[in-house]
Chains A and B, each alone.
Chain A
Amino acid sequence: MLATNVLHFTRILRDSGLPLGTRSTLDALACVEVAGIETRADLKAALRCVLVSRAEHLVLFDTAFDLFWRDPDIAAKMMAALLPEVSGRGTAKPPPPPPTRLLDAMHGQQSEAAPQPTQDPDELEFDATLTFSANEKFQRLDFESMTAAEWAQAKDAIADFALPVKPIRTRRTRGVDRGRIIDLRRTLRESVRTGGEVIHLARKAPQVKPPPLVVLCDISGSMHRYTRMFLHFIHALTNASIRTTNAGQHVEVFLFGTRLTHVTRQLRHKDVDAALERVASAAPDWSGGTRIGACLHEFNQRWSRRVLGQGAVVLLLTDGLDRDDIHVLAASAERLGQSCRQLIWLNPLLRFDGFAPRASGIQALLPHATKFIPAHNLQSIKALATALSA
């Protein structure tokens, strides 16, 4: 009975998004056997250390555990709910929905992660399309499907795309024909061929790799026209194939408007339209106001230490039009500039001839950007790639 319960509990966690395989279920069973089931807290701790592998899943696990192991009736109901799925996944009959209470609990973490904003009547947001919005506009952006021609163009652009950043020299070495360092181990092994006589000295040299890339993309109203193109570009970067110069580059992607959303996982889908569809549903603040300062601050506090290690380069895609407190923006930009290897700022406003960085947000950001790239004509991803590799 306990085994069945553990099995179903694992299934519930898997269905609510935790990366668990059959191995995890077996581990969980073994763990319960060793730890014993005298107390609830011990059982919880034991299951937690095999079923959770990321800190952000802890809340979900705790909620699910408390619900599942509190009331055997719920477990029974859950099993009943899951049963049709077990008996045949291929049949067209959709499984009946699990009890609402549990469903709510399972999604509790998500709603907690993205709480509804407290609407502050005093706070007016002003975006670049010259309209006032009293609160955040929670719109879902409908992505048009990418045309085949655009797709081909994007792929072309990415194929010969190289970031304007120097690759990092790692401390790892590889065998080369000419190099400064003599590879003694390989020399000795190769000398076996010549009867133990060392004739040729094998050499090695440090390997280089592209630095990890962190993309912070503005999706506020004033950036609306460029967002789609930017996202296509980022998707191509994320899924760069082995042949490109960016192979093996680690890319993390964040979107921000009025809040920060981490969308790396959503963007990993191979199909660009499917990926962007997921991204669109993940970010709640499409085409709303801009709070660059607050978002950069949140990034610094919550994410910078996790993703900016290993000499990361930050690509900031924004027009820099921020109506929030300019001091927050300046301080956050300074911290961001110090935490990464390079801060590259792409500003679509630069397409206008004679553009001068007069807006206060732009002036606050500018001193901390290592590179300020005039990305003209962003309608074409080709042009953007060229601008970046120049």
Chain B
Amino acid sequence: MIATPTPASIDATAKLLDSANYVADRALATSVYLMLKMQRPLFLEGDAGVGKTEIAKVLASTLGRDLIRLQCYEGLDIAQAAYEWNVQRQLLAIKASERTADAHIENVIYSDEFLIKRPLLKALQGKAGAAPVLLIDELDRADEPFEAFLLEVLSDFQLTIPELGTITAAEPPLVVITSNRTREIHDAIKRRCLYYWVDYPNAARELEIVRRKVPGVDQRLSAQIVAFVQRVRKEDMFKLPGIAETIDWTRALTALDVIELSKENINDTLGVLLKYQDDIHALRTRMQTVLDDSASQ
């Protein structure tokens, strides 16, 4: 991969995202442009399946950067996120040095060679001009102590290892943080980032996304699908279908050779679109109304 420089304007950023089939609206392109220009992390919040993680992937592929992904989970600690000493090897090295009576063994065992690098540390050691994309995915799943630790990394792009010293990035990585908002992230983190709320797309943009992601889809069917999904999002649901679900559903319907949406084929494939039994049941009872409404649009 050859790293390309970051785009020089908002238009160029929009074009860049577009070239990787990411249909972004202008406000998102602006946020991405600012993130690249100001070298600040981008904090993306929104419901599941609206394309948050995708932005990091698209940035990595279009800019020719490595994508370093840190999937967050409860109890994630420094050893898993940043670095860990390879203690087993250190012990072996000490044993081996006993025979040779190496006086500088301490310098040896606390060196780069015995350090296991995890995503955060790797992200800080990118080459200048080719800083990697660091994706911190679903930060809301990690706990608060981890957020506190992230503060140092995100504000100064440096990491302190007590035995080794402080490691500073030659060039700050392009940081994308996502959150599904299953809990509120502390304001201190948000303040260091550019915030963007990723919403469900409007009908025109969703249609564009579907047609790009499912290239073989019939024009008329895709329009029907998008109109139906947009209408479903107005229903009172526990979990509204995201774009990911729309794309999956379109693929499912195409695979079944559906030409036109009908009550029957929607019923058969509803499990692709909605993931809660309550929601599926609620929609089945109101199917005719929803279908008629979406057809009239």
Mark A residues whose CB is within 8 Å of B.
19, 21, 23-24, 30-31, 34-36, 41-42, 44-46, 48-50, 52-55, 58, 170-173, 184-185, 187-188, 192, 196, 198, 212, 300-301, 305-310, 331, 335
Check B197–A58 contact: CB distance below 8 A.
yes
**Residues of B close to A53: CB separation below 8 A:** 43, 187, 190-191, 195
Check B183–A309 contact: CB distance below 8 A.
yes
Check B183–A49 contact: CB distance below 8 A.
no
Q: Does B280 contact A (CB under 8 A)?
A: no
Q: Does B26 contact A (CB under 8 A)?
A: yes
Extra contacts besides A35-B10, A309-B140 (13): CB < 8 Å: A41-B27, A42-B30, A44-B27, A46-B30, A49-B196, A50-B195, A53-B43, A55-B197, A172-B77, A172-B143, A185-B85, A198-B91, A331-B278
Question: Which partner residue on chain B sits nearest A55 by CB separation?
Answer: B197
Complexed CA–CA distance, A171 and B181 (Å)? 21
Complexed CA–CA distance, A44 and B30 (Å)? 10
Question: Which partner residue on chain B sits nearest A297 by CB separation?
Answer: B236
> Given A35-B30, A53-B191, A310-B74, do A188 and B45 touch, yes or no (CB 8 Å)?
no
Check A31–B140 contact: CB distance below 8 A.
no
Check B197–A172 contact: CB distance below 8 A.
no
Q: Residue B181 contacts which of A36, A49, A212, A305 (CB distance < 8 angstroms)?
A: A305
Give A309 Cβ to nearest chain B Cβ, in Å: 4
Question: Which partner residue on chain A sits nearest B85 by CB separation?
Answer: A185
Give B122 Cβ to nearest chain A Cβ, in Å: 20
Question: Which partner residue on chain B sits nearest A171 by CB separation?
Answer: B75
Q: Does B270 contact A (CB under 8 A)?
A: no
Q: Does B145 contact A (CB under 8 A)?
A: yes
Give B286 Cβ to nearest chain A Cβ, in Å: 15
Give B270 Cβ to nearest chain A Cβ, in Å: 19
Complexed CA–CA distance, A152 and B181 (Å)? 38
> Given A49-B31, A305-B182, do A42 and B26 touch, yes or no (CB 8 Å)?
yes
Give B225 Cβ to nearest chain A Cβ, in Å: 24
Complexed CA–CA distance, A184 and B181 (Å)? 36
Give B290 Cβ to nearest chain A Cβ, in Å: 18
Question: Which partner residue on chain B sits nearest A38 by CB separation?
Answer: B10
From 54 to 88 in chain B, residues with beta carbon under 8 angstroms from any chain A beta carbon are 73-77, 84-85, 87-88
Check B37–A34 contact: CB distance below 8 A.
yes
Give A386 Cβ to nearest chain B Cβ, in Å: 31
Check A49–B75 contact: CB distance below 8 A.
no
Q: Does B38 contact A (CB under 8 A)?
A: yes
Q: Does B153 contact A (CB under 8 A)?
A: no
Pairs A-B, 5 closest by C-beta atoms: A171-B75, A309-B182, A45-B30, A184-B87, A45-B27
**Residues of B close to A198: CB separation below 8 A:** 91
Q: Does B125 contact A (CB under 8 A)?
A: no
Q: Does B90 contact A (CB under 8 A)?
A: yes
> Given A172-B77, A172-B143, A310-B74, do A34 and B34 touch, yes or no (CB 8 Å)?
yes
Question: Which partner residue on chain A sits nearest B79 by CB separation?
Answer: A185
**Residues of A close to B74: CB separation below 8 A:** 170-171, 310
The contact string, 1 if C-beta is below 8 Å from chain A, for chain B 96-135, is 0000000001100000000000000000000000000000
Complexed CA–CA distance, A196 and B90 (Å)? 11
Give A142 Cβ to nearest chain B Cβ, in Å: 32
Complexed CA–CA distance, A306 and B180 (Å)? 8
Check B90–A170 contact: CB distance below 8 A.
no
Give B207 Cβ to nearest chain A Cβ, in Å: 22
Q: Residue B26 contacts which of A41, A49, A55, A310 (CB distance < 8 angstroms)?
A: A41
In the complex, 16 of the A-B residue pairs with CB atoms within 8 angstroms, ordered by the A residue number, are A31-B34, A41-B26, A52-B195, A53-B43, A55-B181, A171-B74, A171-B77, A172-B75, A184-B87, A184-B88, A185-B87, A188-B85, A196-B105, A306-B183, A310-B183, A331-B278
Check B145–A172 contact: CB distance below 8 A.
yes
**Residues of B close to A306: CB separation below 8 A:** 181-184
Complexed CA–CA distance, A48 and B37 (Å)? 16
Question: Which partner residue on chain B sits nearest A43 by CB separation?
Answer: B30
**Residues of B close to A170: CB separation below 8 A:** 74-75, 143
From 240 to 290 in chain B, residues with beta carbon under 8 angstroms from any chain A beta carbon are 278
Check B140–A188 contact: CB distance below 8 A.
no
From 189 to 233 in chain B, residues with beta carbon under 8 angstroms from any chain A beta carbon are 190-191, 194-197
Complexed CA–CA distance, A341 and B96 (Å)? 51
Q: Does B33 contact A (CB under 8 A)?
A: yes
Question: Which partner residue on chain A sits nearest B45 by CB separation?
Answer: A55
